[in-house]
Structure 1
């Protein structure tokens, strides 16, 4: 919910092409729960959606070039300069989240691996151009 009692201090707000397809993908790939969405007057585009994902919230909307086009999807602009990080409890959670996302249609950016910052880490790119990172602490050697 946009202004409920548990609004996080920072939220990701992403732009996609085909918001309804994105909501369905995020449900399958990330276990997202659509807690709210409103359609545009055209009945085809998502004006606003709230998705609960791994205990956080991501807001989502379709492109609306008729409103100035200042926010466009990564697929329209040819990439993204942002990765959305999902912090998980255990290294095995990273592998499971990565496997689930790839099985749902995400592409691999970085396969799960242990890193120099003592984390299990992986990155995927969803079909809408957004990059997601999975991160969990590993024992400090």
Structure 2
């Protein structure tokens, strides 16, 4: 078996609003969409700097549902950008909830976390230092909260 690609596929309540948010905040561009005759958006593909993000609206009839942030988060999307502070600020200005303000981390990244208006958790970061795994572990052992 060969894995050729891995795509994040998010379910949202309002795919049109999600497309607009991701295009505005992450400079995504829409590749294409499929819409049912009744108007429900069944599939959208966005390009984020050469990476594909897929979206759909809820399909409760086959148990595809949007996240329930009040119950916590089962996943985080990690987005590497040129300037985490700028992208986090843009996300918050566009309606995301700030979960963690950007800060420098022991593993050589500056990042912050937002919950987008559709309930998805995004860690947005940029590299500040190249660190080998053994050094990361040493720093983590010393202070996992740093």
Q: TM-score, normalising length from structure 1? A: 0.82
Aligned to 1:23: 19
List, as ranges, runs of 4+ consecutive aligned residues in structure 1 with deviation greater than 2 Å.
75-80
Q: Distance in 1 between matches of 2:20 and 2:72?
A: 21
Aligned partners of 1:85 and 1:110: how far apart in 2? 13
Which residue of the partner structure matches residue 63 of structure 1? 58
Q: 71, 80, 91: which is aligned to 2:73?
A: 80
RMSD: 1.9
Q: How far 1:78 moved relative to its partner?
A: 4.0
Contact 1:121–1:133 (8 Å) recurs in 2: yes
Is residue 39 from structure 1 mapped to residue 32 from structure 2 by the alignment?
A: no
Contact 1:79 1:129 survives alignment (8 Å): no
Structure number with greater CO (CA < 8 Å, separation at least 6) is: 1
Cα distance in 2 for partners of 1:112, 1:76 equals 21
Deviations 1:46-104 (A, max 9, x none): 100001123311000000112x21x2111388443111111124xxx111111111111
TM-score (normalised: structure 2)? 0.79
Could you tell me whether the CA contact under 8 Å between 1:75 and 1:128 is conserved in 2?
A: no
Aligned residue-pair number:
128
Report if the CA contact (8 A) 1:54-1:86 is conserved: no
